[in-house]
């Protein structure tokens, strides 16, 4: 009998550098993705919203997040760089003066998307990146029904949550090495009605998924990069808690999913690491659901008033 050596098929990002835009604490998907990328061998840089930058960096410096930083294989997550990033602004010149002069912004020379892209080149050279993750969303009127949402609130949601990804791909595409991967995060409200998830955020997520497909074509042809999207189930991050009923969303999804359990941020991180790796080299323009199968259901099994 012929014997074959044992082989392990693993997600391997050794020698790769990743940038995760939208990490300001240890509770969100961005942090979980950063951890999984690091566990796969990548060096990880993050972009943090300027008003949260000081708090986040102090927490790290004081060791307040030691447990969250532990990696599965031993050691701890160490960010190669932490950049101040406000993805609502493409360039510093387009940023309103009152923002530039705000005390939480003025200590950062250039927190725009273009500014951070230029800083990457200054720090690491002409082609410094292999993976860019967009983990950014904001709806200033997310708690308002669509019928009560202002034009400014609606366009603000699209700008912060959808166009920011377009701008990232525009400016970081040329910085990607061969086989580069872009990834963004969406939610089922893009295609189903989620009462209470308002302020234009459902439209922003729909735009984000549409843009993923178009960018996959354009960035694939121009930069040779892949562009994908993860549609994650509800998760109680600090940002999601602003909706006001995230607990009910999580409980409803758990009761009515094919796998009747809540998702965990690590599962989203694992899917992101896979999509960033050579194992997913043939996958682009795709929305991957990480939601215990909830998206496949057409009828509630348990709406809360019956037993499963």
Q: What is the mean pLDDT of residues 286-299?
A: 96
pLDDT at 4: 61
Active-site hit among 53, 105, 197, 252: 197
Q: 55 lies in a domain? A: yes
20: tokens are 């995760």
Characterize the bridge pairing of strands 176-186 and 43-48: unpaired
pLDDT at 13: 97
Is residue 187 part of the annotated active site? The answer reads yes
Is residue 197 part of the annotated active site? The answer reads yes
What is the DSSP secondary structure assignment for residue 76, as one 8-state letter?
A: B
The share of the chain scoring above pLDDT 70, in percent, equals: 94
pLDDT at 235: 86
The boundaries of the domain holding residue 47 are 17-296
Is residue 74 over pLDDT 90? no
Q: 210 lies in a domain? A: yes
Dihedrals φ, ψ of 55, to 5°? -65, -45
> Considering the entire predicted model, what is its pTM?
0.93
Q: 6 lies in a domain? A: no
Q: What is the mean pLDDT of residues 248-256?
A: 93
Q: Tokens 């061998």 appear where?
A: 41
pLDDT at 181: 98
Number of separate domains in the chain: 1
Active-site hit among 53, 154, 163, 187: 187
Is residue 61 over pLDDT 50? yes
The share of the chain scoring above pLDDT 90, in percent, equals: 86
pLDDT at 303: 63
Return the sign of the alpha-carbon dihedral for residues 142, 144, 146, 149: negative
| Residue positions counted in the chain | 308
Is residue 244 over pLDDT 80? no
Q: 7 lies in a domain? A: no
| Span of 27-31, 169-173, 297-301 with lowest mean pLDDT | 297-301
Q: 8 lies in a domain? A: no
- CA-wise closest residue to 197 among 261, 132, 149: 149
Confidence band for 240, pLDDT divided at 50, 70 and 90? low
Q: 137 lies in a domain? A: yes
Q: At what angle do helices 265-276 and 29-39 cross, to 10 degrees?
A: 50
Q: 89 lies in a domain? A: yes
What is the DSSP secondary structure assignment for residue 72, as one 8-state letter?
A: T
Is residue 85 over pLDDT 60? yes
- CATH for 23: 3.40.50.720
Q: 11 lies in a domain? A: no
Is residue 154 over pLDDT 90? yes
HSE-CB for 194 with a 13 A CA cutoff: 27
**Beta sheet of 176-186, edge-to-edge order:** 81-84, 43-48, 17-21, 129-134, 176-186, 226-232, 287-290
């Amino acid at each position: 009998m012929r014997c074959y050596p044992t082989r392990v098929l693993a997600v391997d990002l050794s020698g790769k550098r990743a940038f995760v835009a939208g990490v300001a604490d240890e509770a969100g998907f961005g942090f979980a993705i950063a951890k999984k990328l690091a566990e796969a061998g990548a060096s990880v840089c993050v972009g943090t919203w300027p008003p949260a930058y000081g708090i986040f960096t102090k927490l790290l410096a004081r060791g307040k997040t030691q447990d969250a930083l532990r990696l599965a294989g031993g050691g701890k997550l160490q960010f190669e760089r932490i950049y101040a990033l406000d993805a609502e602004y493409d360039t510093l010149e387009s940023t309103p003066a009152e923002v530039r002069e705000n005390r939480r912004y003025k200590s950062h020379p250039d927190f725009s998307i273009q500014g951070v892209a230029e800083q990457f080149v200054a720090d690491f050279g002409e082609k410094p990146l292999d993976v860019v993750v967009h983990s950014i969303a904001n709806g200033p009127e997310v708690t308002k029904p669509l019928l009560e949402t202002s034009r400014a609130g609606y366009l603000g949601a699209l700008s912060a949550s959808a166009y920011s990804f377009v701008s990232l791909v525009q400016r970081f595409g040329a910085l990607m090495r061969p086989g580069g991967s872009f990834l963004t995060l969406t939610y089922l409200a893009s295609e189903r009605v989620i009462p209470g998830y308002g302020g234009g955020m459902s439209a922003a997520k729909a735009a984000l998924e549409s843009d993923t497909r178009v960018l996959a074509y354009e960035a694939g042809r121009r930069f040779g990069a892949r562009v994908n999207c993860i549609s994650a189930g509800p998760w109680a991050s600090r940002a999601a808690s602003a909706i006001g009923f995230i607990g009910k969303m999580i409980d409803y999804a758990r009761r009515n999913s094919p796998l009747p359990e809540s998702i965990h941020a690590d599962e989203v991180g694992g899917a992101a690491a896979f999509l960033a790796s050579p194992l997913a080299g043939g996958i682009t323009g795709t929305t991957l659901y990480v939601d215990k199968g909830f998206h496949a259901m057409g009828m509630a099994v348990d709406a809360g008033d019956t037993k499963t």
